[in-house]
Amino acid sequence: MHEELASIGKSIIINGELSGSEDLTIEGRVDGKIELRDHVLTVGPNGRIKAQVSAKAVVVLGHVTGNLTATEKVDIKENGSVEGDIIAPRVAIADGSHFRGSIDMQKKDQPVSVGHALGTYKSEKSEKSDKSEKSDKSDKSSVPAATSVTNDYARV
């Protein structure tokens, strides 16, 4: 049995919110918001998207301007273009593609921020070695309240 794929043709322009419960291929233009929580969005070579996108997986062969959130993977193919931030546990960016933005590859079960994961929070203790000690604040005051500092690492 051959399943019919949903698609938006080259000449179609959609302004607003687009949601669905099946895989979708876009060859036309969509401005606004796209939500395919448990399905795959494919932006074809002629597709032009200016939207916030949420899907299980996003495959980009055309142009996307806006943030992409995927529960499984974002794949920017050769000649594909993304300008915006990507949040997905797996990201593939092919040679010859274009990407401008940031990538957050946290898994669902790891709610730790990138700054915490990389240990970029420093305690004031290390900063005070260069300054005279003028305050009686704890050496953990530069770290958000829900964290603890051990040496130069922050744990949530």
The pLDDT tens digits for 125-136 are: 444 444 444 444
Residue identified by tokens 């898994």 is 107
Domain that holds residue 144: 114-155
Domain membership of residue 12 (yes or no) is yes
How many structural domains compose the chain? 2
- What pLDDT does 32 receive? 96
pLDDT tens, residue by residue, 37-60: 999 999 999 999 999 999 999 999
Beta bridge partners of 149: 154
For 52, counting Cβ atoms within 10 Å of its Cβ (0-12 exposed, 13-18 middle, 19+ buried), the class is middle
DSSP type of residue 142? T
Chain centre to alpha carbon of residue 64: 13
Same domain, 98 and 126: no
Cβ atoms of 97 and 78 within 8 Å: the answer is: yes
Same domain, 29 and 97: yes
- What pLDDT does 109 receive? 58
Cβ atoms of 59 and 36 within 8 Å: the answer is: no
Domain membership of residue 17 (yes or no) is yes
Domain membership of residue 1 (yes or no) is no
Residue ending a domain, among 82, 104, 126, is 104
Residue 119 CA to residue 97 CA, distance in Å, equals 31
Same domain, 96 and 119: no
Q: Is 111 helix (H, G, I), strand (E, B) or coil?
A: coil
How large is the average pLDDT for residues 104-125?
Answer: 52
Same domain, 17 and 82: yes
Domain membership of residue 44 (yes or no) is yes
Token digits of residue 64: 């996307």
Task: Tell which residue, 102, 98, 103, 65, has the closest CA to residue 83.
Answer: 65
Cβ atoms of 51 and 69 within 8 Å: the answer is: no
- What pLDDT does 3 receive? 61
Same domain, 26 and 57: yes
Domain membership of residue 109 (yes or no) is no
